[in-house]
Amino acid sequence: MLQTKDLTIRFGGHVAVNTVSCRFVPGTLTAIVGPNGAGKTTYFNLISGQLKASSGSVLLDGQDISALGVSARTRAGLGRAFQLTNLFPNLTVFENVRLAVQATRRGTHRRGLNLWSIWSDHGALSQRTEEILATVAMQDKQDAIVASLPHGDQRKLEVALLMALESRVFMFDEPTAGMSVDEAPVILNLIRALKNDPTKTILLVEHKMDVVRELADRIIVLHNGTLVADGEPAAVIASPVVQQAYLGASPEDASAHDVAPAQSKLPRRGGTRQAP
Amino acid sequence: MSAAGPLPTVAQRSPPDAVNPMSQALLTLSGVHTHIGPYHILHGVDLSVPKAQVTLLLGRNGAGKTTTLRTIMGLWRASAGTLTFAGRDITALSTPEIAERNIAYVPENMGIFADLTVRENMLLAARSAASEKQMDTQRLDWIFGLFPAVQKFWNYPAGKLSGGQKQMLAVARSIVEPRELLIVDEPSKGLAPSIINNMSNAFAELKATGVTILLVEQNFNFAQKIGDTVAVMDNGVVVHSGSMQELNQDAALQKSLLGLAL
């Protein structure tokens, strides 16, 4: 189980994440929503170790991992996807995944230059790599150089790497952003498949409410760095804080709020004929 | 300048490749090819962007949408074909010369100056204002209403903004002054639903003042809401163009063009 206890970070005078305490249980998908700048990505950074907390702690299976760096946390099972480019751009898709598979089997390569073990491992590594590529439906692109891949494929590959690293916690930061409508289902299906695995804990930052509604077992809401709501998706979505601060009150609600749809109108000043 | 309607009132079932007859084209690409290094990305793009309308460029990842926008701005050089803006050939012009035709462009990576403040980023785009005092305050207030983060972090370094806030700044900066043509690569990316609402209202208002808007957008719900004209790309060519209304009403067309199963 992943847990944050009073997790806090200050940037100068600004408290970006403010005493957030939360537990994330394996076999569940928790969506984290909130206005832009609420602290969602910062919260992810604190969990994955990109940022060190000012106070509070991060626990994985009861162990305090707050002092660990990113790579140690990754080895402990924390998998962070997106907004973090951890691909090798000049290697092929296959080589990227195989490296990640290899990283989980470090033990077998500490025997020094044992040519027999290298040769015998090779088949197993390649087989596992092929399995993972099949899971993310990228077998046909295994020989492509990563730098030449479209954005969506690079994101799929990142999920493949997390699978290869045998992560237990998967953190997705807007996984479908920048992805065309025909490609988004591939990533969503991957997340759905992960969700069916009772050993995996999934955290998802997502602005598309249809995706949240469909995938989340639970929603937490961050606003100005503070946890303001936590519960069943339907109840949280219906709550006033989400309706007004996040979704933007619909005209029927007519309730004023500082982030409700703008009332101001573009000042008219004739035409726009300024081209030389 | 056309009347300010959200969508054309007449459902015009135009055949593919037809230019919407209701409006003349402000920007036209004909037979545009673009190479990036050894890769041949655009294979003869024909695109017509009607004046004072919102045109959506759709298509799967890798179809050539961003390359098309970059070619329009002269950031990639067309290896063949012609680009015409407001009746003039802009194919051979440099990026600054193209921008000077009163075109605003928000690139995929937003192009925020991280070490400058939000205010300085905005001021840079306000070409007719030498200082903050000369900025159009009414227009600024309008922008602040749309994107509250821009006002809130006015004197902060832009690099400290969150991803979504940077996106707000990038779009805010592109509309700080009236432009003839506004080009945005994925305006809704990373934005909370309330801000996307604000932005679609803003694009509608800009259009009503005669601004022509060209967007690459993956959020089909947003695209449906604001688009007048649509061009779908695949493998470096435009494979369909027509009205958004037509695409909205034709589930089979959506499925075949965009892989949408609704």
pLDDT tens readout for residues B196-233: 999 999 999 999 999 999 999 988 889 999 999 999 99
pLDDT bucket at B61, cuts 50 / 70 / 90: confident
A165, A173 contact by CB (below 8 A): no
Can you list the alpha helix ranges (DSSP code H) found in B104-192?
A: 118-125, 137-146, 148-152, 163-174
> Whose CA is closest to B41, among B19, B67, B59, B2?
B67
Q: How far apart are CA A46 and CA A222, in angstroms?
A: 14
Which regions of chain A does DSSP assign to beta strands (E)? 2-11, 14-24, 29-33, 55-60, 63-64, 78-81, 169-173, 201-205, 218-223, 226-231
Q: Please list, in sequence order, all residues whose beta carbon lies within 8 angstroms of the beta carbon of residue A159, skipping any fewer than 6 positions away.
A: A81, A136, A170, A175, A187, A190
Statement: residue B130 has pLDDT above 90? no
pLDDT bucket at B17, cuts 50 / 70 / 90: very low
The shortest CB-CB distance from B61 to any of A11, A152, A267 is to: A152
A81, A134 contact by CB (below 8 A): no
**How many residues are listed for chain B in this entry?**
262
The shortest CB-CB distance from B190 to any of A174, A181, A248 is to: A174
Angle, alpha carbons B243-B244-B250 (nearest 5°): 100
Q: State the amino acid at position B42 in one-letter form.
A: L
A260–B146: do the CB atoms touch at under 8 Å? no
Q: How far apart are CA A156 and CA A190, in angstroms?
A: 9
A232, A31 contact by CB (below 8 A): no
Three-state secondary-structure class, residue B43 = strand
**How many residues are listed for chain A in this entry?**
276
Q: Which residue of A has its CA nearest to B57?
A: A180
A29, A195 contact by CB (below 8 A): yes
Record the tokens describing residue B199, joined without a space.
């932005």
Q: How far apart are CA A127 and CA A97, in angstroms?
A: 11
A36–B195: do the CB atoms touch at under 8 Å? yes
Q: State the amino acid at position B146 in one-letter form.
A: L
Backbone angles phi, psi at B169, to 5 degrees: -65, -40
Statement: residue B234 has pLDDT above 80? yes
Summarize the confidence of residues A183-201 as an average pLDDT. 87
A36–B165: do the CB atoms touch at under 8 Å? yes
C-alpha distances (whole Å) from A38 to each of A161, A246, B162, B224 are 29, 10, 9, 28
B260–A183: do the CB atoms touch at under 8 Å? no
Q: Residue A268, Cβ neighbours under 10 Å: how many?
A: 10
Q: How far apart are CA B141 and CA B28, in angstroms?
A: 34
A275–B61: do the CB atoms touch at under 8 Å? no
A262–B149: do the CB atoms touch at under 8 Å? no
Q: Which residue of A has its CA nearest to B202?
A: A266
The shortest CB-CB distance from B191 to any of A207, A262, A269 is to: A207
Q: Please list, in sequence order, all residues whose beta carbon lies within 8 angstroms of the beta carbon of residue B34, skipping any fewer than 6 positions away.
A: B41, B42, B64, B67, B68, B71, B76, B77, B78, B79
Q: Which residues of A touch B179 (CB under 8 A)?
A: 272
A262–B201: do the CB atoms touch at under 8 Å? yes
pLDDT bucket at B18, cuts 50 / 70 / 90: very low
A36–B168: do the CB atoms touch at under 8 Å? yes
A264–B60: do the CB atoms touch at under 8 Å? no
Q: Which residue of B has its CA nearest to A12?
A: B160
Crossing angle of the two packed helices A115-135 and A151-164, in degrees rounded to 10: 130
* Delimiting residues of CATH 3.40.50.300 domain(s) in chain B: 26-102+180-261
B193–A264: do the CB atoms touch at under 8 Å? no
Note the pLDDT tens digit of each residue in A77-127. Answer: 998 875 446 788 899 999 999 998 988 876 554 555 666 666 667 788 899
The 3 state secondary structure assigned to B210-257 is CCEEEEECCCHHHHHHHCCEEEEEECCEEEEEEEHHHHHHCHHHHHHH
A113/chain B closest Cα distance in angstroms: 40
B47/chain A closest Cα distance in angstroms: 20
> Which of A51, A84, A172, A180 to mutate to test binding with chain B, by most B CBs within 10 Å of its CB?
A180
Mean pLDDT over the full length of chain A: 84
Task: Classify each residue of A56-85 as buried b or exposed e, where b means 16 or more C-beta atoms within 10 Å of its C-beta.
Answer: bbbebeeeebbebebeebbebbbbbbbbee
> Which of A266, A268, A269, A273 to mutate to test binding with chain B, by most B CBs within 10 Å of its CB?
A266
Q: What is the pLDDT at residue A184? A: 80
Q: Which residues of A touch B136 (CB under 8 A)?
A: 267
Q: How far apart are CA B145 and CA B195, in angstroms?
A: 10
The second-level CATH assignment, the architecture, of B26-102+180-261 is 3-Layer(aba) Sandwich (3.40)
Q: How far apart are CA B123 and CA B132, in angstroms?
A: 7
| CB contacts < 8 A (A, B) | 142
Q: Please list, in sequence order, all residues whose beta carbon lies within 8 angstroms of the beta carbon of residue A69, skipping any fewer than 6 positions away.
A: A49
Summarize the confidence of residues B34-50 as an average pLDDT. 95
Note the pLDDT tens digit of each residue in B22-33. Answer: 569 999 999 999
Q: What is the pLDDT at residue B20? A: 45
Record the tokens describing residue B71, joined without a space.
């070619």
Q: What is the pLDDT at residue B4? A: 38
The shortest CB-CB distance from A259 to any of B102, B148, B189 is to: B148
